[in-house]
Amino acid sequence: MTSVLAVHAHPDDIEHLAAGTLAVLAAAGVRIVIATLTAGECGSDATDLAQTAAIRKGEAARAATLIGADYLCADLPDLGVFNDDTCRRAVTELIRRAACDIVITASPADYHPDHEAASRLVRDACFAASVPNYRTGEAGPLAAIPHLYFMDPIGGRDREGVPVVPDFACDLGAAFATKQAMLATHESQAAWVARQHGIADHLGSMESWTRRRGRDFGVAAAEGFRQYRHQPYPKTPALQDLLGPALLTPQA
Ligand SMILES: [Zn+2]
């Protein structure tokens, strides 16, 4: 049975970039795991680190509950995600615990250092997770390297402003309302995103982006993805096949 792990750096990243697709898949009976590498404990100036971590993990877990997904957190430090031995072992243990055959993670190019580090770590941890002698903790090795996909970067552009073009997208349809509800659980972020990012309405920002991706594919709302196909990662279109009628391919 196919299952999908969506893993990104902070609580709310997945709700901006992939939650609608996860809702579509969950409605079709696919087992979903949502994971963050950090608790996002730097994402507040109103509560201390421990309080913020607890609040944000609670928000992420509530969002996951809306689609019947499990939530896991690797508890790496916010703004402290690096492509090093400690982080790679922690991320590999997380991927082993989730035990999914499709993994969707951050874009290799994105605005935040944790996002770019998360992308590399998850890519390399997908390889390491199936290596029996790579020891990480209690979870056993995966039987095979999972199918690996990247979400869009925030805003759909790399650091030089060059658009990142997805291979395919998911037509969200009615799942867009579920995506909105999942992001709305991240109540702590409304004030923080306004202060730190200058975005007065984080729900509106997500909607603008999701509708923009929809226009790119001729529908009302969509989320884009790219498949990582370097050897020895699996190249078959596992996620595309799973999307069924919601699969959108680029318009000619
Ligand atoms: Zn983030």
Q: CA dist 93 to 35, 108, 122, Å?
A: 12, 21, 11
Distance from residue 106's CA to the centre of ligand 1 (Å): 9
3-state secondary structure of 225: strand
Residue 120's nearest CA partner among 109, 130, 131 is 109
The pLDDT, as a whole number, for residue 252 is 61
Low-confidence ranges of the chain (pLDDT < 50): none
- Contact at 8 Å (CB) between 163 and 119? no
Tokens 């073009």 label which residue? Answer: 165
Distance from residue 132's CA to the centre of ligand 1 (Å): 31
Angle between helices 202-217 and 189-197 (to 10 degrees): 80
The pLDDT, as a whole number, for residue 153 is 97
Distance from residue 9's CA to the centre of ligand 1 (Å): 5
Distance from residue 143's CA to the centre of ligand 1 (Å): 30
Distance from residue 112's CA to the centre of ligand 1 (Å): 7
Q: In the chain, what is the straight-line distance between the N-terminal and C-terminal CA atoms, in Å?
A: 34
Distance from residue 13's CA to the centre of ligand 1 (Å): 5
Residue 247's nearest CA partner among 227, 216, 222, 226 is 222
Distance from residue 229's CA to the centre of ligand 1 (Å): 25
Strand partners, 170: 223, 247
The pLDDT, as a whole number, for residue 210 is 98
Q: What is the pTM of this model?
A: 0.96
Distance from residue 8's CA to the centre of ligand 1 (Å): 7
CA 239 to chain centre: 14
Longest dimension (CA), the chain: 51
Angle between helices 19-27 and 175-184 (to 10 degrees): 120
Distance from residue 118's CA to the centre of ligand 1 (Å): 10
H-state helical runs in 102-200: 113-128, 175-184, 189-197
| Residues within 5 Å of ion ligand 1, judged at the Cβ atom | 9-10, 13
CA 47 to chain centre: 25
